[in-house]
Every structure is written in C-alpha cells, then in structure tokens.
Structure 1
Amino acid sequence: MSLSSALSTAQSIFNNSGTQSAVVSKNIANAQNPDYIRRSAVVVTGGNGAMIGDIVRSQNAPLLRQTIESSSVASGQRTLLDGLEEIKNLMGGNSNELSPAKLITAFRNNLDAFASTANDTGLGISVISSAQDLATGLNTAADKLQQIRKDADDQIKQDVDELNSLLSKLESVNNQVKNATASGTDANDALDEREALVKQISEIVGVTSYIRENNDLVLYTSDGVTLFETVPRKVTFQPTAAFDASTNGSGVYIDGVALKAGEAANTSAKGSIQALLQLRDTVAPTFQSQLDEIARGLITAFAETGPTGALAPMTGLFSYKDSSGVQQTAIPASGAIVPGLASRIFVNPVVVPPAGTPDKLRDGGINGAAYVVNTGGSSYGDLLDKYNENLEAPMTFDPLTEIADAPDLLSFASDSMGWLEQLRSTATAADESKTAMLTRTLDAYSSNTGVSLDEELSLLLDIEQSYKAGTKLMATVDEMMQALLDIAS
C-alpha cells in the first residue's frame, strides 16, 4: 500500500466514523421519542474505498399501516365506552341506585305499605315523597343525558378543528418531504414528523394512505373519501347550541361527504368522531326513548278513570307538561314515544302536602268529584291495590326503544338497565381486545423501527474500534514519513 493510499484510507475511516457517530448519537438522543424512526449509516465500497452511501430509516410499511388501523379502532372503542360509563354514572354507578327500576321498586314498597294501612297519613306522605323521587330521577336523568349529547357535540367540534389543523400541518411537512426527496437531501426528519401527524389524525378519523412519486402522501378515510391529496380537504361541522329529546345534531362532512356514525357496542367506529356521532345520535337517544316510555307508563298506570272506569282517562298521581310548560291532563297515546316526556313528568300538586293531600291518591278525585272511587272511608286501599297491579299489567312499548318486547312497565324498567349494562359490557370487552391489539402492534412496530440502547452502544464500540484502527494507520504513516525525511536529510 502506498503512502497516499494509506492516507486516503485513514481519511475515509475518520469521515465514516464521524458520520456513523453522529447517526448513533442522534439515535440515542431520541431513544424515548415514540415518533422517531431509527437511522442507519449505510457503508458502501467502491473504487475509492469504503464510504457512507446513505442514511436510511428503519421503515416497515405493513406494520405502520397496522399501527394506524389499530390506533383508529382503539380510539373509537374507547370513546364509545367512556360515553357509556358516563351514562351508567347517571344511574348511580355500579349499584344503579338512581335507575328508574330501583326508584320504582322503592316507590312500590311504600305504595304496598300504604295500601295495607290506608288510614295512615304518614305512609301516604311517604308514597308521595317516593313518587317525587321517581319523577325527579327521571327529570334529572333525561336532562343530564341531553347534556351528554351536548358534550359529545362540543367534542366533535374540537376534534374537527384539531383535524383541520393537523391536515394543514401535514401539507407543510409533506411538501418538505417531496422537496427533499426530489433534491436528494435528507428527508428523514420530515418523514418522522409526517408519520407522527398521520398517527394523530388516525385517532380522530380512520385513514388509509398511499405513497406516490417523490414520497408524496395521499390520505383517504376508511370509507374511501379523499382527506389529503397535495392539499387538505375541508372537514366541516356545525355545532348545535342546545339539545333536547327532539334535537338532531349536525353531521360531519369531509370534502362534502357525510362521515358515518359507528354502529353496535363492539363499534365499527374508526377514530373518535365516528364514536362521538354514535353516542350523540344513537346510544343516548335510544336510552332517552326508554326513559320517556317509562314516564309514559307511569302516567298511564296511575291514570284516573272514575268509579266504574268509564270516564275519560286523565292524569292522576303523575302528570306532565307540554313543551311550553303547560300542565296536561290527557293520557299519552299507547305504544308511542313522547319525546322528552321523562324531563317533563311530575307529581300532581293536588296530592302533595301541605297544599294537597295523599287521600286523593287513595280515594280518587284528583280530577274532581266525578273521579272519586273510594266513598267507603279511609280504611279502603282497593284503588291503591289497583294502581299497584297496573305496574305489572300488560303494556305496549315503542319498538324504537329496542326493548319493546317487555310485557309490563316493571319489566321494561328492568330491561332498560339490562340493555345499558349489556351494551357497556360488550363495549368493555371490545375495548380490552382492541387496546391489547394496539399495544401488541405498537410493540412490534417499535421493535422493528425504534431505538435499542443496547444495540446503539454496541455499535458505538465498533465505531470506536474503527476509529482506533484509523489512528493507528495514521501513526504508522507518520512514522514512515518521518523515516523518509530522516533518510532524505
């Protein structure tokens, strides 16, 4: 080997070692960064010896696609489950002590006691008090349920704004990637940033991606609607100011196409927006319809029909107001939901002490003398027994409640909680499964593309040995040069 070749080799070693050290150092510095993809300095050999040919990312496109998909479905399932947990909390948590079924049971126990001792005014007052608890419980649950819908609507607005912001950032970063790729400069940092943005987008809405010439990214929703192509497509949403049982929220539109809501407890939602639409437009309204049917059942069960049952039915113990706040006396039609009835049901003031008296519940006459049933004295509880039996009498419910096959009001109230618990249980199991899948996918992706400190430190030792070889070669060349100079002198 000539001295010039030796010098060239030593210089190549130093250049390569410097570049490799810089790459390894950057890897180590980003070992805890989940959005960083490990770099490798690729050494190639040629006529001029070994040199760094390129710095490449440890990409794994199939695992990346799986990570994005898993992130979307896990985000959608978690969002739905959170909403179901919030609805469950309205019912009093695990014990469901605030559920209509529990409140009806407490009310019925007091009604039984009053019927057996019909001349005990104290028991009559307890019946009215528990009836008020029942009506208030329905009012509160219905109102808070609408607030859950409003909160979901507000969150949709935030997610849409965040999605538009991320798409705007994606445009800028994608342009950096294209320009760097076209010019042959390092695009790795921009690629990391673009990948991180796609991951964030996938938590809001399900996406699939396609890479074109010059590393240009095209992004579609899971339903095939273009979300990003050169420039971001507009995502629009009009929030609703307030919700009641008759309010329908606005849809989310991507490039003018409506985004579908998720379906079922093991939801089809990909990303948080679809799950929020499902919660706002399907789950909460269905449970609201069940509360409304329970309210209608109570009003019907305690309707007054006079001593022979031939008079026009009118509201008795339980009455309600129309949408303008006016008290109604007509009994709602059988088998049809009255939207918002649960938020407007109340105990008739005629039976509420001190202005009213529970005797009118026992004897009839809430709607006047013509409706008095018990004329035989305060010891008769026949009418109270009839009301009690009405709670288990056959009743028709609206199919939109999804539990319309319940035979009577008590069964319907119980089935309502069963419906919610079944939904929540299925959603919980699905959440565990999808979260586990996401965790395994992230682990696999990290193992393939992430930084291992052990590997990087081992590589540093190899680089150190290469550097030492270079310094030893330089020392040898120096000695030879000195020997030549000594001879020449």
Structure 2
Amino acid sequence: MSLSTARSTAQSIFNNTARQTSVIGTNISNVQNGDYNKRTVMIVSTEHGARVGSVYREENAALFRQSLESNSSASAQATLTDGLTKEIANLLGGGNYDRSPNTYLSTFRDTLSSYGAKPADTTLAAGVVSAAKDLVQSLNSTSTGLQAIRQDADKKINEQVGNLNALLASFETVNTKVIQATSTGNDPNSALDERDALLKKISDLVGIYSVTRENGDMALYTSEGTTLFETIPRVVSTKPMESYNAGAITQDVFIDGVAITPGDGGDTSAKGSLQALLQIRDQVAPTYQRQLDEIATALILMFKEENQNGNGSFAAGLFYDIKNPSLPILPDPAAGEPKEKLDIKHMPVDDMSTRIRISAAVLPPTGNPALIRDGGIAGEAYRANPDGSSGYSELLDNYVESFEDVKFGFSDSSSIGGDQSVLDFSTASVGWFESLRSSASNADETKTALMARTSEAYSNVTSVSLDEELSLLLDVEQSYKAGTKLLSTIDEMIKTLLDSVG
C-alpha cells in the first residue's frame, strides 16, 4: 500500500465514522419518538475504499398498512364503547340499570298490584302515584339525556371533520416535500416520518389505505373506496344538526361528495371514530329513544279511560301527552278496527318519552290518587266506580293484567318490534342495549389488543433500540481508532522518510 493510498483510506474512515456517528446520534435522540423510523448508514466498497452509500430508513410497508388498519378499527370501537358504557349506560344507572325505565316500570306494576289487593288503602294509592311519577321522570330524563348524547356526538363529528380537513392540508404539504426530495436526490426521510405520523392521525378518524406512486407521491383512499387525497386533498364536509329529537333530520358527512356510512353492530364495522360517532348519533341513540317513545305511548294507551256513556270513545287517563293533553284516543275509523285493536300506530310516537306526563288530577295536594282506582281522571263521564266504593278493584286489576296480557304492535324501527306486552318490550329493550354494550366491550378488548400487537410488530422493525445504537457506537469508535492509528503510522513513515533525506 502506498502512502497516498493509506492516507486516502484513513480519510475515508474519518468521513464514514463522522457520518455514522451523526446518524447514530440522531437515532439516540429519537429513541422515545414513536413517529421516528430508525436510520441505518449503508457502507459500500469502491476501488478507493469503503464509503457511505446512503442512509436507509427502516420501514415495512405491509406492517405499517396493517398497523393503520388496526388503529382505525380500535379507534372506532373505543369511540362506540365509550358512548355506550360511559354515556348511555350512565343514564340507566350503570351495569345494574337501576335508573332504567324498565326498573321503574316493574316497580310501578308492583305498586299497582299491591293497591289492587287493598284498594281502600290511601297510603298504597299515594305509593302508586309516586311510582308513576318516578316512571315518567325516568322516561323524560333518559330521553333528554339521549338527545344530549346525540348533540355531543354531532359536535364531535363537526370538530373531527375540521380536524380531518386540516390533517389533509398538512399531508399535502409534507407529501410535496417527499416528492421534491426524492426527485432531486435529497434525503426525504424526515418528510417520510412526518407523513407517516399524519397517516396515523388520519387513520384515527377514518379508515384509509394508501398507494405510493412515482417519486414517493402518495394517494389516499378511505376504506370504503372514496378518494381522500390524490394530488390535492378532497373536501370533507357536514353541517350541525338543527335539533336532536327523535324525528330530527341528520346531517351526513361527505368526503369528495360521497356520504360516509355509519358503523353497524356492537362489534362495529366502523373504521375510524367518525363512522362510530355517526353510529351513535344516527343509529344507537335514536333506536333506543324510539324504544322509550313506544313504551311511553303504550303507557298512555294502557291507562286510557273509556267513556262510560257507551259511545266507545277514550281519553287520556293517568298518563298523557303534554303536547296534546286533550287529544282523545280513538280507534282508527279508516281502518275500521274495533277498540280492542287500538294500537301504537294510531298515536303520535316521536318524542313521546319526552312529552309524557302524569295527570294533575291524581297529584296531591289538589289531586285525588283514588281516581286511579275509580276512574274519572279525564272527567266524570269516564268514572268506572261512580259510587266511590273503597272495595272496588276491577280497574286496578285490569291495569295490572295489561302489563303482560295486552299486546302492542311495536314497530320494527325499534329493533325489537313485534306483538308483545309493554313489560316484555321494556325488558327486551334493556336486553338489546346490554347485548350491544357487551358486544362492544368485548370487541374493544380484542381490537385494542390487535392494535397493540401490530404496533409492537411494526415498532420492532422501525423503532430505535438504545442498546443496539450504543453497540454500533462502540464499533464506530473502534473504526475511528483504527483510522487514527493508520494516520499516525503514515505520519511516522513520512517523518522517517524526511529525516533520511534531510
């Protein structure tokens, strides 16, 4: 080896170790940064010795794609589970459903039964009124709470639409950096880290898949196939709902003019929190409110009072609709149905759980609780016990029996429709919600675990290991020492040569 070659080799060692040290230092400084992919210096051999060929960014496209998908699923499932367990379930008193309308309905039926056994007992009569008030308050507060949950979900939807538009605008900026760096031969790795970090945030909101094109350019599509970004970001839009009652018209979320589909089921099909929020706002809460509305409507029908003059007309009794307090309840003359077939479909249902009230005619101190026993809440013409006999219980017995014997045609839009009693329907309502909540909780655990595993697998490939970096740093130090030793030897040889000719 000539002196010039040896000197060139030493210079290459110093250049290489300087670059390696810089990259290792950057890796170590980002050891806690989850959005940083490890860099590796690639050393190549040339006829003039080893040199730094490029700085390679560790990545695994398949694992990253799976990580984004599992992140979207977990985000959606967590959003739905939180809505069911932390919001709706709390309205019902938690896991025991102590404050659910079904609990108060059963208590009301039991107090009626007790009063029917001792119709002369004024204390039991007052207990029936109190139980009826609790039932109405439960229906009112639960329905109002569901509307508040829908309003909160709608607010979050509008916020997330704004966030998604902002993320897509940032994605365009960073994607341009990647294209420019790649096409000009500069280092795109920092821009790639930024872009991947944005993809993770976007996948929290909507399910995505990406296509990488020439010069590192990337196009984004939703899991439903709608274009999210291609050269420029697509517009994501929605409008706040004007009201949140049962009949309110919902506002879709559009991406590039295509509406997002809400998730479905406890183990939701949603990808990203936007679809899950739409599921809560447009499916879960309205369905449960529909169930409450039909329970309230059934109660008004069950406790209607019949005109004793024999004209076949009815009027609201113990329970009534505050919006239409004087509305008579009649069989549908067009259908020609007899009064025995009087059904929920003959009554306005929307928001009835919010509108239902207990008649002031039975509320102390001015009202008389005994009217529940005797009839006549709607007026003297509807009084079934005109003599006021304290032993009369026929009306009370009919009320108690109606909880199980009278069948109503509940609508399919309640998800538990069909001909059944109000008590069976109320119990099925709790079962429907518990099944949905339980399924969501189990799926949340599964999807969270899957997200953790895929994230860990990707991290194992791309993240910085401090032990590995320190070990590499020791190797670089040894290379540097070898270079200094070689340079020292060259210096001694030149000095010897100069001394011999001097």
TM-score range, shorter chain: over 0.9
Is structure 2 residue 179 aligned with structure 1 residue 168?
A: no
**CA distance in structure 2 between the aligned counterparts of 1:310 and 1:372, rounded to whole angstroms:** 14
Instruction: Quote the Cα distance in structure 1 between the aligned partners of 2:19 and 2:390.
Output: 100
CA distance in 2, matches of 1:165, 1:328: 52
Check the 8 A contact 2:313/2:330 in 1, yes or no: no
For 1:14, the equivalent position in structure 2 comes to 14
User: Matches of 1:383 and 1:64 in 2, distance apart?
Assistant: 69
SS at match of 1:42: strand
Is 1:298–1:318's contact at 8 Å kept on the other side of the alignment? Answer: yes
Following TM superposition, by how much is the alpha carbon of 1:405 offset from its aligned partner in structure 2, in angstroms?
3.6
1:34 maps to which residue?
34
The alpha carbon displacement at 1:11 in A equals 0.6
What is the alpha-carbon distance in structure 2 between the residues aligned to residue 331 and residue 217 of structure 1? Answer: 65
Residue identity opposite 1:356 in structure 2: G
Other-structure match for 2:122: 121
C-alpha distance in structure 1 between counterparts of 2:361 and 2:102, whole Å: 25
467, 471, 481: which one pairs with 1:458? 471
CA drift of 1:366 comes to: 1.1
Aligned residues: 487
Aligned mates of 2:152, 2:10 — CA distance in 1: 67
Would you say the 8 A contact 1:306–1:364 is kept in 2?
Answer: no
Gaps of 5+ in 2: 332-341
Report what 2:334 is aligned to: none
Give yes or no for contact 2:270–2:276 (8 Å, CA) kept in 1.
Answer: yes
Match of 1:59 in 2: 59
The range that moved more, 362-371 or 171-180, is 362-371
What aligned pairs does 1:191-210 form with structure 2 within 5 A after superposition?
Answer: 191-210=192-211
Residue 22 of structure 1 and its aligned partner are, at CA, apart by 0.7
Q: Distance in 2 between matches of 1:406 and 1:278?
A: 27
The question of whether the paired residues in 1 share the 8 Å contact of 2:297 and 2:344 is answered with: no
TM superposition outliers: structure 1 runs of 4+ over 4 Å:
306-310
Residue 374 of structure 1: aligned partner: 385
Equivalent residue letter for 1:147: A
Deviation at 1:170, TM superposition (A): 0.5
Relative to structure 2, which stretch is displaced further, 141-150 or 379-388?
379-388
**One of 437, 446, 455 as aligned partner of 1:433:** 446
- 2-structure distance, mates of 1:277, 1:443: 30
Query: Is 2:111 the partner of 1:142?
Result: no
Counterpart position of 2:335: none
Please say if 1:400 is aligned against 2:400. Answer: no
1:360 corresponds in structure 2 to 371
Alignment of 1:460-475 (within 5 A): 460-475=473-488
Residue 395 of structure 1 and its aligned partner are, at CA, apart by 2.3
Match for residue 43 of structure 1?
43
Q: 1:139 to 1:176 in 2, by over 3 A?
A: same
Separation (CA, whole Å) in 2 of partners of 1:181 and 1:316: 78
**Kept in 2: contact 1:204–1:271 (CA 8 A):** yes
Contact kept? 1:303, 1:331, Cα under 8 Å = no
**Residues 331 and 483 of structure 1: is their aligned pair in 2 closer, same or farther, counting only changes over 3 Å?**
farther
What secondary structure, in the 3-state scheme, does the structure 2 residue paired with 1:209 have? strand
User: What SS class does the counterpart of residue 425 from structure 1 fall into?
Assistant: helix
Per-residue CA shift, 1:342-361, capped at 9, x if unaligned? Answer: 00001011111111111111
Contact 2:411–2:418 (CA<8 Å) still a contact in 1? no
Q: Which amino acid aligns with 2:398?
A: K
Alpha-carbon shift at residue 119 of structure 1 (Å): 1.6
CA distances 1:419-457 after superposition (whole Å, capped 9, x unpaired)? 000011111111111111111000000001111111111
Alignment check: 8 A CA contact 1:91 1:97 kept: yes
Stretches of structure 1 that go unaligned for 5 or more consecutive residues are none
Distance in 2, matches of 1:404 and 1:218, equals 45
Q: Tell me by how many angstroms 1:308 deviates.
A: 8.6
Task: Give the letter for the 1:354 counterpart.
Answer: P
Larger displacement relative to structure 2 (370-379 or 277-286)? 370-379
Q: Does 33-42 or 78-87 show the bigger shift?
A: 78-87
User: Which residue of the partner structure matches residue 483 of structure 1?
Assistant: 496
Q: What is the correspondence of 1:209-288 to structure 2 with a 5 Å cutoff?
A: 209-288=210-289
Change beyond 3 A, Cα 1:197–1:149: same
Q: Does residue 157 of structure 2 align to residue 156 of structure 1?
A: yes
1:417 aligns with 2:417: no
Cα shift at 1:306: 4.2
- Determine what percentage of the aligned residue pairs are the same residue: 49
**What residue number does 2:338 align with?**
none
The 8 Å contact of residues 406 and 415 in structure 1, kept in 2 or not, is answered as: no
Give the Å deviation of 1:121. 1.6
Q: Distance in 2 between matches of 1:29 and 1:411?
A: 63
CA distance in 2, matches of 1:437, 1:487: 74
Q: Look up the equivalent residue of 1:364 and give its one-letter code.
A: G
**What is the CA distance between 1:84 and its match in structure 2?**
1.2
Cα separation, partners in 2 of 1:309 and 1:124, compared to 1, 3 Å = farther
| Mapped contact 2:316–2:326 kept (Cα < 8 A) | no
- Aligned match of 1:350: 361
- Report the Cα offset of residue 254 of structure 1: 0.7
Is the Cα–Cα contact under 8 Å of residues 91 and 99 in structure 1 kept in the other structure? yes
- 1:330 corresponds in structure 2 to 329
Contact persistence 1:315–1:331 (CA under 8 A): no
**Corresponding residue for residue 399 of structure 2:** 387
> Which stretch of structure 1 is more off in the superposition, 336-345 or 466-475?
336-345
Of 449-458 and 156-165, deviating more is 449-458
What is the root-mean-square deviation of aligned Cα atoms in Å? Answer: 1.5
Q: Deviations over 1:19-71 (max 9, x none)?
A: 00111111111111111000001000112210000001011000011011111
For residues 326 and 243 of structure 1, the distance between their equivalents in structure 2, rounded to whole angstroms, comes to 23
Helix, strand or coil: the match of 1:392?
A: helix
SS in 2 for 1:391: helix
Cα 1:9–1:282 shift into 2, 3 Å: same
Distance across 2 between alignment mates of 1:193 and 1:331: 67
SS in 1 for 2:116: helix
| 1:171 maps to amino acid | E
Alpha-carbon distance in 1 for matches of 2:146, 2:231: 42
